[in-house]
Copies of this chain bind each other. A is one copy, B any other.
Amino acid sequence: MAKTILNGLLATATAVGLSFPSIASAQSLDEVMEARGLTQQDLLAAAKTYTPTGGRDEFIVFSSGGQSGQIMVYGVPSMRILKYVSVFTPEPWQGYGFDEESKAVLEQGRIDGKLLNWGDTHHPAISETDGDLDGEWLFINDKSAPRIGLVSLHDFETQQIVVNPIMQSEHGGAFVTPNTDYIIEATQYPAPLGRGFAPLSEFNEKYRGAVTYWKFDREAGRIDQSKSFSLELPPYSQDLSDAGKLVSDGWSFTNSFCAERYVGGIESGRPPFEAGCSQNDTDYLHVINWEKAVGVYEAGKVEMINDHPVIMMDTAIEEGLVYLIAEPKSPHGVDVSPDGEYIVVGGKLDTHASVYSFSKIMAAVEAGNFSGTDPYGIPIISMEDALHVQVALGLGPLHNQFDSKECVIYTSLYVDSQVAKWDYCEGKLLDKISIHYNIGHLVAMEGESVHPAGKYLISLNKLAIDRFNPVGPLHPQNHQLIDISGDKMELLYDMPVPLGEPHYAAAIAAEKLKPLVRYRYGTNSRTGGKHEGAVRPGQERIERDGDTVTVYMTAIRSHFTPEIVEVNEGDTVRFVVTNSERAEDETHGFSISTFDVNLSLEPGKTATAEIVADRPGVYSYYCTEFCSALHLEMTGYLVVKPEGYVEEATVGEEGTLWTEADYKKQVETNVQTQGVIDSVVVYITSRNFQDFPEVVALVEDATDQLTFAEDAKAKSEAAATESDWQNATLWAGQWWQYQVKAADIGLRAKNFLDEEGAVVTAE
């Protein structure tokens, strides 16, 4: 019966002619459309979004995951979610917070001594070069604790978390300057800077807002806290921000709500925050000269708060760093046009979008033309002096995104549940489309860069209500894809969001991303550097240092080395595991039953699972990623010996005994199997497989497996020489296992060639 797989291989290898009757689908397109109630418009939308197997999306969206603390990555136009990247929340499937390397990243996010297990991600920003998205790095903020996370777009892993030293709460981050020199982070709810205490009765005097400019060191690939600084701001609720670009480069814009400085207290008969914070007709747009502020900071004109340099308001006013402009009622988004000249603000509780002119603002600043100052002495530029145009769009205008078409902008209307398309140069409404329902942010392809890509717009809707099959009281959100290539917006697709509430998203042309296929051998993915505990196959070892046992391990299809680890009760055990695969997608996991660890080991990665063996017993460890047909057999035992246990030098009885006949039978199978593999190799190499990089990679991998097979074969033959039939048989079995892996890969390569229409180049 061991020959059956051989027969299978033979069957497959010779099955070029085999095919089942190719009956056309029983249902015609018209029948399907009628059965499913599709209109012609639906079919067109389907054709614009459906992506057949192996197809690629044109754009990749990075969406915040809200209270999940993660980032959701999906493709456009297919609207298929490709990955969740964990940033602030532990995620076992990525090993995040479960291996020692990523725990070190989460430790960076400790705030006032507290280790946090989640975040409330809001606004992702892709790194920019000259105002264009460059696809290297991604920054995202946490509203639940004032922090910024940094994700490498090479491996889609979080590599750094920085904690804001002075804020208690933030919302207006992360936004990058056009060359990613700085990442902007603005407070949300006012509090004493430095997270100290002050009673609410001293709100006006002691509570403050702020904006932090985090320095990004691109060469190091890290935010440099030692070169970052902040500006003190009044106790308004600062909100979203945007960096100037081109003509307005060097400036940044931060809006606000609750310039009323209202402090609620509904429990004591006061109207709630929502009433007091929305009573006035206007709030303030903060206009900040960050480039000049860098000079002021570098000149040392700062106060240190929690060891962090802060330019205080008086200094900022004196140095001409900050100005205010009235903006309509509790605005939400502020967005700078691709050419940098216009700053667009939606008045959340006002039906208008207001377009400010940067040159008008500069003229007012230069002329010292101010209508007065706010209670803290900041000069106010009158709205009339700064305004380019104001357009009535509808109810609840929130955010704006720019089209590739000149002067065309899209604005979300929360209360109206619509998107407005309008001309911000002429101040003219062009089109509206209804969404489902209550849109927050929206995102156009590269829609905040200096070169928006147009084509698609996504409406990030807060409510889905009746759009999808019900899944309990907690509904998904709804991301709706809209075709903006024509004059009229067209709704293409509803995508439910299964996890967390996204706020903002950033979309980039897929071709700009250059993710790694595999890590350099032995990489610590959280530092990007070589892992000091990485070992090559053959170098595995177990080392004891006092009560700490370190296991230097490798993982490959489908076994760990070592497979048996014996320690004493109370030992600290560190498994430093390196995935020694080089094949794409050949990830292994590592878990120890009933211990709270899991590693995700992509090819080349090294990661560490550390446990305290506090309870005697035997614990199986196993691979948590289905890696080959022998995946379930990829296991081992951690044996924790009880205190005082005296080992007897006994060897266990073998469960099964194999004989010379077993050995011979296995070898016969292997020889025949090799013949079949050779025929697959002939099939592949007689075609133009080298034109297909995917197949070249598979062939490399199969070659690796056959090399391993040779090694097992040698061990088998050596044992046979000594009539050790037990080991001879088993090593022959292992030799065959490597052959099966080679066959698996070979068949995938063969199928790929068949599907891609490879041609015969040799006979």
Contacts and interface: CB of A to CB of B under 8 A. Distances in A.
Interface in A724-744: 727, 729-731, 733-734, 737, 740, 743-744
Given A8-B394, A262-B656, A44 B25 contact: yes
Given A20-B431, A563-B272, A639-B199, A632 B587 contact: no
Interface core residue of A54, A60, A93 (most chain B CB under 10 Å):
A93
A415 B6 CA distance: 12
Interface in A312-351: 328-330, 332, 347-351
Interface string A12-46: 10000000111101110100110011111111111
B42 A730 contact: no
A195 interface: yes
Interface stretch (A154-162, A214-222, A244-252, A284-292): A154-162
Given A585-B475, A734-B275, A116 B596 contact: yes
A173 to B, nearest CB: 14
B191 A120 contact: no
A501 interface: yes
Contact of A498 (B72, B467, B598): B72
Contacts of A260: 655-656
Contacts of A760: none
A755 B41 CA distance: 15
B469 A82 contact: yes
B67 A591 contact: yes
Contacts of A584: 465, 473, 475
Contact of A564 (B265, B351, B515, B559): B265
B620 A168 contact: yes
A574 interface: no
Interface stretch (A176-184, A402-410, A433-441, A446-454): A433-441
B591 A144 contact: yes
A488 B27 CA distance: 12
A90 to B, nearest CB: 7
A544 interface: no
Contacts of A462: 625-627
B188 A469 contact: no
A423 interface: no
Interface string A456-474: 0000001111111111111
Contact of A263 (B113, B202, B630, B655): B655
A440 B49 CA distance: 28
A636 B29 CA distance: 56
A1 to B, nearest CB: 4
A54 B5 CA distance: 49
Contacts of A694: 465-466
A632 B26 contact: no
Interface stretch (A296-304, A357-365, A528-536, A602-610): A602-610
Contacts of A191: 617-620
Contacts of A620: 168-169, 188-189, 191
A654 B375 CA distance: 12
A561 interface: yes
Identical subunits present: 2
A751 interface: yes
A696 interface: no
Given A83-B498, A279-B733, A156 B472 contact: yes
A675 interface: no
Contacts of A759: none
Contact of A594 (B73, B114, B279, B651): B114
B168 A618 contact: yes
Contacts of A277: 630, 633
A392 B594 contact: no
Contact of A114 (B156, B488, B595): B595
Contacts of A474: 83, 94, 155-156, 587, 600, 602
Contact of A92 (B42, B89, B348, B651): B89
A373 interface: no
Given A416-B747, A744-B438, A82 B476 contact: yes
A389 interface: no
Interface in A189-203: 189, 191-192, 195-203
Contact of A82 (B40, B42, B74, B498): B498
Given A43-B47, A273-B559, A647 B473 contact: no
A653 interface: yes
A104 to B, nearest CB: 17
A415 B44 CA distance: 38
A593 B145 contact: yes
B81 A81 contact: yes
A368 interface: no
Given A199-B647, A751-B417, A594 B144 contact: yes
A54 to B, nearest CB: 6
A116 to B, nearest CB: 5
A483 B605 CA distance: 38
Contacts of A262: 654-656, 730
Interface in A113-156: 113-120, 143-146, 154-156
Contacts of A91: 68, 89, 499
Given A4-B351, A83-B476, A264 B564 contact: yes
A743 B415 contact: yes
A399 interface: no
Nearest to A77: B36
Nearest to A735: B275
A267 to B, nearest CB: 3
Contacts of A670: none
Given A46-B46, A515-B472, A2 B281 contact: yes
Given A26-B486, A27-B48, 11 more contacts: A36-B48, A80-B495, A144-B594, A189-B637, A191-B620, A197-B616, A237-B632, A332-B632, A395-B747, A473-B604, A475-B587
22 contacts: A7-B392, A8-B395, A43-B47, A80-B496, A112-B615, A143-B624, A144-B593, A169-B593, A191-B618, A192-B617, A192-B618, A197-B616, A197-B641, A203-B655, A262-B655, A275-B730, A275-B733, A330-B633, A415-B740, A434-B751, A473-B518, A475-B584
